[in-house]
Each structure stands twice: as structure tokens, then as C-alpha cells.
Amino acid sequence: MIKLANPFRFLSIAALAILIAVSFSCNEDFFNEIPGDKITPESHYKTQIEVEISILGAFAVLQDAANELVVLNGLLGDLVDVTENSDMYLRGLNKHEFSPSNPYLDASGLYRVIVNVNEVLANIDTSKINDPDFTEIVYPIFVGDLIGLRSWAYFTLARLYGQVAYIPDNLPSLPEGQGPIYLSREAIFDTLVNHLDSTVLANEFLGVPRGTNIINKHALMGEIQLEKQNYDTAAYYLTKACAVYGSGYFKVDTKFKDETWREIFVNSQDKDFEVMTAVPYSRDDQQDNNIEIMTSYHLDYTIKPTQVIIDLFENQVDKRGEPRDLFRGPGVSYDTIDEGVYAINKYSLNQNSELSAAVIIYRAADIHLLLAEALNRKGQYDDALAIVNDGLKTIPYWTRTMGIRGRVYLEAREMPGTKELLEDIIMEERVMELAFEGKRWFDLMRVARARGDASYLADRVAAKFPPGSEHDEVRNRLMDMNNWYLPVK
């Protein structure tokens, strides 16, 4: 079995001056910009280690986009609200009113990931030829990891904007006079399924996880298939994302049980029994995660949790009959500052390293709950509810799973009468487990689309506004599915 080193464990991103070669600013000539104006591909791609550094560099570009993605997703949904300190751009996002100058509409960070990946793919063969010690077996693994990262960026863009500017044939820049090809949400999903083919997927799991700077491609394929409403296929890949390793990995077991659940969010990039993919930040390396600045009551405090999420945590019952979700709620996902005054706390749990919390892309509980959603949609109701409660133990290596609620000692939910009511239970559990992690807006869109009911989304988002004109304006706007997508800046 092969275990590749995780570069984040041994190299500081700030120390990698080579990243200049794979990162550039976007302007009106974005797609025709030449990456690496400091170090050219010809002088860089000479060895296997330079390929590894370039892959790290492509992933590191996500630092520019990941924290903004969390804020954007939160305000578009129903779990995050603005405060009196918020500027006009945050208030606009909250009300789904988009000014062309709103910096949060800028998609260039995700497109930089795509272009940087294309540059590495275009030059990896050169490194393989130049380096006689290039390990043959890692070549398809590197290619697969790059395709996975690029596919996730496209997938995220499609869900936010409803279309993407597609750059074909692994091109790092477009030929003179040629513009990008624009693909619809549905078309890019089909394209990504073709990119994540059996060869790419087959090279994902050679031994144990290689580090959280790698996109779990089975998880990504499962999520794409869930969006496409192919529930049998989605369940297969989502199960595979967690089931391929031995009993220690991605099983939602005792490793982050009860009071240790909060430890998932302290140095998340090192918690590879739960965290599949995370974007790390480090104040020591001048890579601040600004989410903590925006959420902390003692800093800027420009966004806050809504009463929706507070009430959900407060209304839970544990296995002793005691009220409240004690292990995920107050003091963990959020803080109570004063009566009726709350602050998001999930990015402030590491007292020894401020402004350095990672943004998690994929983790085990997320995938388990997506699997529950797929199983429910395909009629496996008992299995879906088992994942929510005390764990689905019939899959090999899952016998020690505790379930999402079982892991935090909460009372089991009872089987409701309909598929939609069970889906509501699954979605509520995702709200609490994944609060403020950049998942909720995508969940609302996916479920509303699957039900063919825009009011599922519109009613929930509008509920964070008091009854009156703002509430009605937001609801009416979101009853049109075309208004769910951000305008292309």
C-alpha cells in the first residue's frame, strides 16, 4: 500500500515561494492570462517534488475563496443573519439583492483553482520525462487528485451561478481570439461525471487517507449524483467514500464523541479520521481566516446566527431526557453573549491559534447524512433513519458507527409517516451537525428542486426576517428558481 506525504504537514504554505508560479490575479483578460509570470512552466516542471508542490499550490488558492464561500452560503440561507455592523454588501446578500460591485459575487478564486490545475495537468508529463526518479505509480494518483480538485471547483461554481465558463482540454489559457465555453448547471454536471471516470476513482484509495488537502472524489461523485437525482448511484458512491478504509476512518464512531465533538474544528486539517478535505489557515503564516473576525462578538461581529438554528439546538433532548444539544450547541457552534444576543463560535474554538480555523470541504458526518438523504429517496427508510440516530451497522467496517445523534448522546428520532417528513428530519440534523460550514444554501436548493417546490426554500429563508415587507419581498423573490443563482460578475 502507498501512503503519500501530506505537504501541509511538513511545509508552510507561506514558505512556498513557488506558489507564485501557480497563482495570479484576475482581470478582464483572466482566461488569457499566462500563469507563472515569475517562474515559467519550462523552468519549473522538472521533478516529481515540483509537481507535488504545484498540486499544493493549486489547492492553496482555495484560501482566497473558501472563507468567502462560507459567508456567502450562510447569508443566502436561513442560518446566518447580518448585524448592525454589517456593510451594504453583506446586507444585500442577506436579502438576495445583488449589487454589481458586491465583492462576494466574484468567482475568480474558484476559476484560479481551475486554471492552476490545468497548468499542472498540461506540464505533469514534462516532469515525468525530466525526472528519472518519478514514481510511475503516483502519476495517475496525481492526475486524479488534480481532476478531483478542478471538478469540485466547477461543481461549486455551477451550484452558485447556475452556469460555468468551461475551459476545455486542460488548457491553462485560451487560444488567441477564443472565449470560454459557457455550460449550464446540468451540462457541467454531466461533464464532471465523465471526468471522474473509473480510472480517476480507482486511484483514490491506495492505503490510508493521504491528507486533507485532497478532494475525496467518491464523495464528490456521490454529491453530483445526488444533485442529478440519481439516488441509487449517489448512495453507491457516498457509501464508497466512507467504506473503503478499515474501521478507523470516516465511520462517525467514538473518536469525536460527546464533548470531544468540538475537537473536529481545532486543527481540522489533522483530524483525518473525520475530516476528508479542509482548507487550512495560519495567522503565523499571515494567512488569516477572516470568518472569525466577522463572527466574533469581540471583533467585527458582522454576521450572527439566526433564531432558527438557536431554537433547533435548544429544542433537542438527550438520552437522559435533559434539554438542549449540549455537545454541538451553546458554547460550541454558537455563543450566548447576552439574552437574545448570539455569536457564531465554530471558528473560534482553538484558543491557542486565533484566525487559523480551517474551512472544511468534506467530513464524515456530512457524507453520512447525504447518504441518508439518498437512501430515503430510494425507499430505504430504516437505513436512512439509522444513520441519523445510532448508526447504520450493516455495511462492512461500520459495526462501530454511533450515528450522528448517537455520537452526541441525543435521543433517537422516531420514524415519521412519510418520505418527506423523514427528509425533513435528515435536513434538520444536517443543520445542527454542519451549522456555519457552508452547506445549508446548497441543501435548501437541492431539496427544493427534488420536491419541485420553490416554497421549501423560500419559506425557510424568508423566516429569518420579521413579518412585513422584507419578509414578503425575499419570499416572493425566491419563489422564482431563476433568482436562486448569483449573477455572473
The SS3 call for residue 83 is: coil
In whole angstroms, what separates CA 340 from the centre of its chain?
30
Q: What pLDDT, on a 0 to 100 scale, did the predictor assign at position 454?
A: 98
CA atoms of 60 and 117, how far apart (whole Å): 11
CA 161, 166, 172, 175 torsion-angle sign: negative
CA angle 93, 96, 99 (to 5 degrees): 65
pTM given for the model: 0.92
Residue 341 near residue 310, CB atoms below 8 Å: no
Q: What pLDDT, on a 0 to 100 scale, did the predictor assign at position 202?
A: 82
Q: What pLDDT, on a 0 to 100 scale, did the predictor assign at position 17?
A: 32
Residue 277 near residue 216, CB atoms below 8 Å: yes
What residue ranges of the chain have pLDDT lower than 70? 1-43, 205-211, 244-247
Structural domains in the chain? 7-206 (1.25.40.390)
Q: What pLDDT, on a 0 to 100 scale, did the predictor assign at position 324?
A: 95
Q: What pLDDT, on a 0 to 100 scale, did the predictor assign at position 25?
A: 36
Q: What pLDDT, on a 0 to 100 scale, did the predictor assign at position 213?
A: 75
DSSP 357: P
Q: What pLDDT, on a 0 to 100 scale, did the predictor assign at position 209?
A: 53
CA atoms of 6 and 188, how far apart (whole Å): 30
Q: What pLDDT, on a 0 to 100 scale, did the predictor assign at position 214?
A: 86
Compute φ and ψ for 357, nearest 5 degrees.
Answer: -65, 140
